[in-house]
Structure 1
Amino acid sequence: MNQPYGVVLLAGPSGSGKSYIARQTGLPVLCLDDFYKNGDDPSLPRRGDLVDWDSPLAWNAAAAVETIADLLRHGRAEVPVYAIGEDRQVDTRLLDLAGSPFFVAEGIFAAEIVEECRRRDLLAGAYALRRSRSTTFLRRLARDLAEQRKEPKVLLRRGVTLLRAEPAVLGRQAALGARPARGREVIRSVAALTAGHGAGK
């Protein structure tokens, strides 16, 4: 059985299609959004009376990196299952790489752990998914409404805020080491990575 070889981190704005592109690579996928902190965590950042869920401080980066390390060390790990509508972890599940030498870890905060994954020799690649802002806005709103993540007026207001912030979000992710790329480019790059690994064995 092949030993795990590295993680491909996939960042990008909310609604940009990270989960879809991650699945399209054909690799096992770790959802980094499942590492949000619970809603009663006193360390959560706030804007006035509301939790700022768009801040990296609302997310447990250390736990995400340790889970990635466990996956690369053992080929499997127990990972959290987070219910965004309830603002808490509701379960765990076993993620098994089934011998795959690579896997994708995707989420809006993926770029926050690029440097730490590189430092620990876990990183195989890092990308920030780019898509037109209008498409991202509509995809995000449709998804959040369908999943009943929050009240519709809250989702619409948040969607407009994220639409305006998107260039800055991508700029930060690129500065943290995630290369901006379209979905097709990410899929091609990951395919080349896995093909190159297979050719070298």
Structure 2
Amino acid sequence: MSSHPPIPTRVVLLCGPSGGGKSRLAARSGLPVLRLDDFYKEGDDPTLPVVAGGTDIDWDAPASWDADIAVAAIVELCRTGRTRVPVYDLATSSRTGEESLDIERTPLFIAEGVFAAELVDRCRELGVLADALCLRGRPSTTFRRRFLRDLKEGRKSVLFLLRRGWRLMRSERTIVARQVALGAHACNKEEALGRLAAAAAGRCRKARTTAT
């Protein structure tokens, strides 16, 4: 018998290409959401990777992101229902503060971001993983949504967004394949919502059984 106390909450890791609709789907689910994009490294971090053959920082490489801090936040949410998370400004590539995320006694929450699949094995080993989903769609549609969103939010210069968007559109199928290889289940939005509902129902039943 394990000596560790039961963990009351589990996480669904939601990944997929940038612009694929992860944030909208997470909001639509009605579950609490941890934004993994807030765990990007700051723009002056010397460990940031650079796009091969260019000078742009490769914000789509896992090395541009702090997986250790993200995992710590997930585990703390699962064990205590609250954690402190950085507030990240994508336009300036910097952390501008910190805020509290409190999900109370909710038995399931979503951690969404382009690098969520990088955490599948670690979350499974730590006993906090409920499911891992990768949203997939049409690369041309993803390109359009991503460009319009990033342009509206002023995330980077137009030239940078176009270069990045073209590069990501060409590599989108490879990105999805990598995330699936890391343990995420590739699906469309409707299937993802169905799996989220099933995971939520299962966790709620377990929580009620434990409480009685």
TM-score of the aligned structures, taking structure 1 as reference length: 0.95
- Between 128-137 and 11-20, report the one with greater CA deviation: 128-137
Q: Which residue of 1 aligns with 2:170?
A: 164
Moved over 6 A (4+): none
- Residue 31 in structure 1 maps to residue 31 in structure 2: no
Aligned residues: 199
- Residue 145 in structure 1 maps to residue 151 in structure 2: yes
In structure 2, distance between residues paired with 1:176 and 1:72: 22
In structure 1, distance between residues paired with 2:164 and 2:158: 10
Q: 1:132: how far off?
A: 1.4
Q: In structure 1, what residue type is equivalent to 2:153? A: E
SS at match of 1:184: helix
Q: 1:176: how far off?
A: 0.2
Q: Which residue of 1 aligns with 2:14?
A: 10
2:9–2:79 contact (8 Å) kept in structure 1: no
Structure number with greater Rg is 2
TM-score of the aligned structures, taking structure 2 as reference length: 0.91
The root-mean-square deviation of aligned C-alpha atoms, in Å, is 1.2
Q: In structure 2, what residue type is equivalent to 1:31? A: R
Q: 1:196: how far off?
A: 2.3
In structure 1, distance between residues paired with 2:152 and 2:90: 13
The percent of aligned pairs where both chains have the same amino acid is 49
In structure 2, distance between residues paired with 1:72 and 1:197: 12
- Residue 56 in structure 1 maps to residue 62 in structure 2: yes
Q: 1:77: how far off?
A: 0.6
Q: 1:197: how far off?
A: 2.7
In structure 1, distance between residues paired with 2:163 and 2:142: 15
Structure 1 regions of 5+ residues with no counterpart?
Answer: none
2:87–2:96 contact (8 Å) kept in structure 1: yes
Instruction: Check 1:38–1:103 CA distance in 2 against 1; reply closer, same or farther (3 A cut).
Output: same
Q: 1:4: how far off?
A: 3.7
Q: 1:192: how far off?
A: 1.2
In structure 2, distance between residues paired with 1:32 and 1:61: 9
Q: Which residue of 1 aligns with 2:88?
A: 82
Q: 1:154 aligns with which of 136, 160, 179?
A: 160
In structure 1, distance between residues paired with 2:9 and 2:77: 10
Q: 2:129 aligns with which of 101, 123, 126?
A: 123
In structure 1, distance between residues paired with 2:85 and 2:94: 14
Q: Which residue of 2 aligns with 1:19?
A: 23
In structure 1, distance between residues paired with 2:145 and 2:191: 20
In structure 2, distance between residues paired with 1:67 and 1:98: 14
Q: Which residue of 2 aligns with 1:46?
A: 50
Q: 1:172: how far off?
A: 0.2
- Residue 104 in structure 1 maps to residue 115 in structure 2: no
2:108–2:203 contact (8 Å) kept in structure 1: no
- Between 36-45 and 47-56, report the one with greater CA deviation: 47-56
- Taking the TM superposition and a 5 Å limit, the aligned residue runs for 1:181-196 are 181-196=187-202
Structure 2 regions of 5+ residues with no counterpart?
Answer: 1-6
In structure 1, distance between residues paired with 2:148 and 2:22: 15
Q: In structure 2, what residue type is equivalent to 1:7? A: V
Q: 1:151: how far off?
A: 1.1
